[in-house]
């Protein structure tokens, strides 16, 4: 008995496997499938880019821009406090920064967030300094995440319609939409983490396409829909690989 997350009805032994973009096909058909997949993926990415960036609210919290500036100064602690508390200008209104004794005589503080989003912002901050719009940068990256979701699902033996529906639901039917549209400090970290997770899963699946769990008959259409519809601010995929 094959115990997977979701298993479709079993067919006769000689029934063909589920269709997918990756199935074996003549060269012309394969090129056509690839072109259609790329076009759909680009359409989803461009739609997400428009939706995520056209109505971004005003932002106050830009911790990672400050962190990137500190890195460029050779420091790990940001300049703090800068500006005024009310109205909030600079970072003086940040209530999660821990003031520390600095080594360069500049008042500084430590922010409580891991540094990878700030590392991503380094080239932008190097060019535009505090004028860098990290919200826009991560809105664009969120649209890239939608493309990564489409690409990752293409590694599975599922129908293109299911693949498109699952990607669209991820982009516009989960809290990823909210995260991408806000794009401030906490959400920037979420967007980056989701993108890296999708990339890792896609590479992992692609590295072993003959694994019984990946290439097995049936079940993946239902599994993809189930996982996508139950996703919130995290993606959870649970599966049991043991055969009975």
Domain presence at residue 177: yes
Q: Does residue 211 sit in the same domain as residue 151?
A: yes
Query: 42-46, 198-202, 231-235: which has the minimum mean pLDDT?
Result: 231-235
Q: Does residue 119 sit in the same domain as residue 222?
A: no
Q: Does residue 161 sit in the same domain as residue 149?
A: yes
Q: Does residue 146 sit in the same domain as residue 215?
A: yes
Total structural domains within the chain: 2
Whether pLDDT at 157 is above 60: yes
Quick one: pLDDT at residue 243? 35
Taking the whole predicted model, whether its pTM rises above 0.75 is answered as yes
Query: 39-48, 223-232, 233-242: which has the minimum mean pLDDT?
Result: 233-242
End position of a domain, from candidates 132, 148, 180: 132
Domain presence at residue 91: yes
Domain presence at residue 191: yes
Q: Does residue 107 sit in the same domain as residue 167?
A: no
Q: Does residue 105 sit in the same domain as residue 140?
A: no
Domain carrying residue 48: 41-55+135-229
Q: Does residue 93 sit in the same domain as residue 151?
A: no
Q: Does residue 143 sit in the same domain as residue 74?
A: no
Q: 138 with 176: CB under 8 angstroms?
A: no
What is the b/e burial string over 215-236, where b = at least 16 CB atoms within 10 angstroms of the residue's CB?
A: bebbbbbbbbbebbeebeeebe
Q: Does residue 214 sit in the same domain as residue 115?
A: no
Split at pLDDT 50, 70, 90, the class of 138 is: very high
Q: Does residue 163 sit in the same domain as residue 50?
A: yes
Whether pLDDT at 109 is above 70: yes
pLDDT digits (tens, 9 = 90+) for 112-124: 999 999 999 999 9
Q: Does residue 146 sit in the same domain as residue 222?
A: yes
Q: Does residue 127 sit in the same domain as residue 152?
A: no
Proportion of the chain above pLDDT 90, given as a percent: 58
Domain presence at residue 35: no
């Amino acid at each position: 008995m094959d115990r997977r997350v979701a298993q479709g009805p079993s067919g006769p032994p000689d029934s063909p496997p589920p269709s997918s973009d990756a199935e074996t096909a003549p060269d012309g058909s394969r090129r056509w499938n690839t072109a259609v997949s790329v076009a759909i993926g680009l359409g989803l990415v461009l739609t997400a880019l428009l939706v995520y960036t056209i109505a971004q609210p005003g932002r106050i919290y830009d911790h990672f821009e400050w962190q990137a500036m500190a890195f460029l100064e050779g420091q790990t602690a940001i300049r703090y406090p800068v500006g005024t508390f009310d109205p909030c200008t600079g970072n003086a209104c940040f209530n999660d920064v821990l003031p520390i004794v600095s080594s360069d005589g500049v008042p500084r503080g430590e922010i409580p967030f891991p540094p990878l989003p700030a590392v991503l912002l380094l080239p932008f901050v190097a060019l535009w300094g505090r004028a860098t719009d990290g919200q826009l940068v991560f809105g664009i990256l969120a649209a890239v995440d939608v493309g990564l979701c489409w690409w990752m699902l293409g590694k599975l033996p599922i129908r293109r319609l299911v693949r498109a529906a699952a990607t669209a639901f991820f982009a516009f039917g989960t809290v990823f939409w909210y995260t991408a549209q806000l794009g401030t400090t906490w959400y920037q970290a979420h967007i980056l983490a989701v993108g890296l997770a999708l990339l890792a899963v896609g590479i992992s699946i692609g590295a072993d396409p003959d694994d019984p769990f990946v290439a097995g008959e049936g079940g993946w259409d239902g599994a993809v829909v189930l996982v996508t519809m139950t996703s919130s601010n995290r993606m959870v995929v649970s599966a049991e690989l043991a055969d009975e």
